[in-house]
Structure 1
Amino acid sequence: MSELTAHLDVPLDRGAPAAARRAVTAVLGGWGFRNADWLDAAAVVVSELVTNAVRHGGGCVALHLEAHDERVIVSVADGSSVVPRRRDPDGDGGRGIALIEALAESWTVENYRGGKRVLVELAPCPRGSAS
């Protein structure tokens, strides 16, 4: 597989995480990623990234996917320069970064157009179909 990319602008409302999950699952499935458990994990990562961007970001939220063979990178950009950090869970959240760390190979943050972009490299997709 050669490099594949997709860019989606995400609406700033409470339906954004669900819309992003559906879009990412459809795009990755269309690119040939078929393992159901892996797609579910990718959807959780995207949901957490978009939720954080909508709740704490500001400005527009942009979702970008890149696939290089079996390597997939998901990134979400927003208008805030505040770097996300792991924190203790409470009634208002605090589980997102821990979930991302559990489901992904790595994550990083970079400055992006006056805000930030959080990049997450997903674990490689297992060969085969649904598990």
Structure 2
Amino acid sequence: MTAAHVGPQRYQERYPAKLEAARQARRDIALALETWGLPQLVDVAEQVVTELVANAVEHTDADTVGASITRTGEESARIVVTDTSRTRPVPGTLSPDAEHGRGLLLVGALAHDWGSELVHGGKRVWAELRADGGQ
């Protein structure tokens, strides 16, 4: 007898939209990746989910923020962060004296691909991670 395929490995959680949400999501996503045997994705995933959750907390009036990770291949995963805002994120311009606005530029540099889409009740921002690195 062989095991039946039951779908991809996936973890999801909702967090109160507070500053500590990024830390909690980072910890949970890292634990999921370690459990799945994907430690090579942990560092990048921690940085990406931290930026995406922090953006959702800082730039929306959402009460909660959702974060999920889905294993999409042998050495790849997709992070999704959701909130109730209908405003899509836009990367800032890189300025040497800017104190903010680099988060999405960092996500773009670390992820293989990323984007956002409007969904019923808000938006989702996603990032594709691969063990072979970003772009």
TM-score, length basis structure 2: 0.83
Count of residues in correspondence between the two structures: 122
Query: Which stretches in structure 2 are left out of the alignment for 5+ residues?
Result: none
Moved more, 24-33 or 59-68: 59-68
* Residues in 1 aligned to 2:72 and 2:18: alpha-carbon distance in whole angstroms: 31
Give the aligned residue type for 1:104: A
1:54 lines up with 2:57 in the alignment = yes
* Residues in 2 aligned to 1:58 and 1:33: alpha-carbon distance in whole angstroms: 34
- Contact 1:77–1:112, Cα closer than 8 Å, also in 2: no
TM-score, length basis structure 1: 0.86
* Residues in 2 aligned to 1:125 and 1:4: alpha-carbon distance in whole angstroms: 17
Match of 1:45 in 2: 48
Q: Pick from 71, 86, 90 the counterpart of residue 67 of structure 1.
A: 71
Give the aligned residue type for 2:109: A
State the secondary structure of the residue aligned to 2:85. coil
Between the two structures, name the one with larger relative contact order (CA 8 Å, sep ≥ 6). 1
State the secondary structure of the residue aligned to 2:112. strand
Q: Pick from 98, 112, 116 the counterpart of residue 105 of structure 1.
A: 112
Query: Which aligned runs of 4 or more in structure 1 are off by greater than 6 angstroms?
Result: none
- Structure 1 residue 111: Cα displacement: 1.2
Q: Pick from 71, 74, 84 the counterpart of residue 89 of structure 2.
A: 84
- Contact 2:9–2:71, Cα closer than 8 Å, also in 1: yes
% same residue: 34
Give the aligned residue type for 2:42: L
Query: Which stretches in structure 1 are left out of the alignment for 5+ residues?
Result: 127-131
Q: Which has the larger radius of gyration?
A: 2
Q: Pick from 120, 123, 130 the counterpart of residue 127 of structure 2.
A: 120
- Contact 2:29–2:68, Cα closer than 8 Å, also in 1: no
Q: Pick from 27, 30, 33 the counterpart of residue 35 of structure 2.
A: 30
Q: Pick from 10, 19, 29 the counterpart of residue 14 of structure 1.
A: 19
- Structure 1 residue 57: Cα displacement: 2.2
Give the aligned residue type for 1:67: R
- Structure 1 residue 99: Cα displacement: 0.4
Give the aligned residue type for 2:67: L
